[in-house]
Structure 1
Amino acid sequence: MFTDDRPIFQQLADLLADDIAAGVYPEGAAIPSATDLGVFFRLNPATVSRGVNLLVDRGVLFKKRGVGIFVAPQATNELRRRRHDGFEANYIEPMLHEAALLGIDPATICQIISNRVKDKS
């Protein structure tokens, strides 16, 4: 699960952010405790706390002392907006560049994407 070269706490923060953006943890809902996340992912609680605190610092989560850690209001929309802003640069542009190198025309790209969407349905 945690396999790339980035620090594990960063990977955990990204995983939690993905879950929040997908609606697994709705706004205002509590996320599992650092202890529970540590047990589930088999991580040191200090590593988990670092990842959670990264999201607190970004305003995605907030802490209620003695109660827990919760998804901040508007966190879902903000996470989706940030990802949407980078979607073209991170995915579309590299795909178009690779397609051009392979001689794949835009109509074929559209057809491939359309077929993939149908396969997922």
Structure 2
Amino acid sequence: MKNTLDENKPIFLQIKEQLEDSIINDSIKAGERVPSTNEFAAYYKINPATAAKGINELVAENILFKRRGVGMFVTENAKEILIEKRKKTFYEAYILPLKEEAKKLHITEDELMEMMEKGE
């Protein structure tokens, strides 16, 4: 878990993104238990309901599932779901604006690809 939270972003979203990142980078694998709302609450000194909001969003997205009396666990296809979601977000937030700006500047697709390859 991160040591501090960002004051400029809702806490429940930070908890959700932290869990997503841990699943994507294999810190938490499919079938493994994630920290409970009470563990998050104690660690960050926040209301358990705040942590629950982030965790419940992941349940709604089929990233986590609940085992009654045991805790929340990562679904088998969580990583794939998250990667696809992040790819879509990446495309919309970065690629579409990049292509639009390139079009304004009359940069061809070949030129754009050449620029992309330079950065490697």
Range into which the TM-score falls when normalised by the shorter chain? 0.7 to 0.9
3-state DSSP class of the match of 1:80? Answer: helix
Higher share of residues assigned helix: 1
Give the match for residue 4 of structure 1. Answer: 8
**How far is the alpha carbon of 1:69 from its aligned partner?**
0.8
Residue of structure 2 equivalent to 1:64: 67
What is the alpha-carbon distance in structure 2 between the residues aligned to residue 53 and residue 98 of structure 1?
38
Match of 1:108 in 2: 115
Q: Calculate percent identity across the aligned residue pairs.
A: 34
Residues of 2 paired with 1:22 and 1:91: CA distance? 21
Scaled by the length of structure 1, the TM-score of the pair is: 0.75
Q: Deviations over 1:61-119 (max 9, x none)?
A: 1111111110011111111122223332222222344456678752233202x1xxxxx
Distance 1:101 1:11, change over 3 A: farther
Does structure 1 residue 31 correspond to structure 2 residue 38? no
Q: Provide structure 1 residue ranges, at least 5 long, that are not aligned to the other structure.
A: 115-121
State the aligned residue count.
Answer: 112
Normalising to structure 2: TM-score of the pair? 0.76
What is the CA RMSD across the aligned residues, in angstroms? 2.3
Structure 2: which 5+ runs fail to align? none
Q: Tell me the CA shift for residue 25 of structure 1.
A: 0.9
Equivalent position of 1:92 in the other structure: 95
Which sits farther off after the overlay, 84-93 or 28-37?
Answer: 84-93
